[in-house]
Amino acid sequence: MDAKLEKALVMTPQLQMAIRMLTMSQAELFAMVAEWRETHPGAIADLEPGDPEPVSIEEQDDFDERGIPIWTFLAEPPLPTLAGCPDVWVFGNPPQARANPSATPRIKAVFDDAAMTRSAADVREASWLARSLRMRAKTMEKVVAALLTLRPQMAISLEPETLAPVGHREVAEAVGMHESTIKRVATALRYQTIHGVVRLAESKGKITHVRDDQYLP
């Protein structure tokens, strides 16, 4: 087994949570967070301008030890956002992929005096939830970026259905994730180019691209 993929199988609780989120639609994702907020009052809050991102320990360690920049959402939309709020934008010359911050609940765990009255499990799960949402968006961005490297014409294609399919393993090796993670991403992800919104699909064990006619420009 590829060393990177083998390493990826050792999952933290927040990574397991993020992977479960990968198959959720945006409506399901926002509904899940809303329900969690109701059942755990005061445990989470929306991120405000200037608040630090809920960075995982692993990402912070990479930054501290190796100087690897901490991943962030793009501050401003690079493309006009169509109805349906795509998960990832594909834009620029050369093309790049960036996660859409409007497609993800942006939350933080609340650590205040009231937190002392909540269970340790609640406080811990609130942190995992915030980090997992961010990790989900980061994973989707990485997958689209890998597909963009393998199929650069996807950035400008008027007929995405004609793009050559890409195998799950090829993408998994490019991003250092397990094939099962890539399969999950392919069930829910939609990206936007200058020509409209495209959703990923699966055909014979490979990733294909389908123009989402529901969101034609």
Largest interatomic CA distance in the chain = 57
The pLDDT of residue 5 is above 70: no
Residue type present at position 200: L
* The two structure tokens encoding residue 43: 């445990």
Measured CA to CA, the distance from residue 129 to residue 122 in angstroms comes to 10
Average pLDDT, the chain: 86
Work out the percent of the chain whose per-residue pLDDT is above 70.
86
The pLDDT of residue 188 is above 80: yes
In this structure, of 79-83, 138-142, 183-187, the range with the lowest mean pLDDT score is: 79-83
Residue 200's closest CA among 185, 181, 216, 179? 185
Quick check: 85 and 26 in contact, CB under 8 A? yes
How confident is the model over 7-19, as a mean pLDDT?
64
The pLDDT of residue 11 is above 80: no
Residue 190's closest CA among 168, 165, 167, 160? 160
* The two structure tokens encoding residue 23: 């198959």
How confident is the model over 69-82, as a mean pLDDT?
82
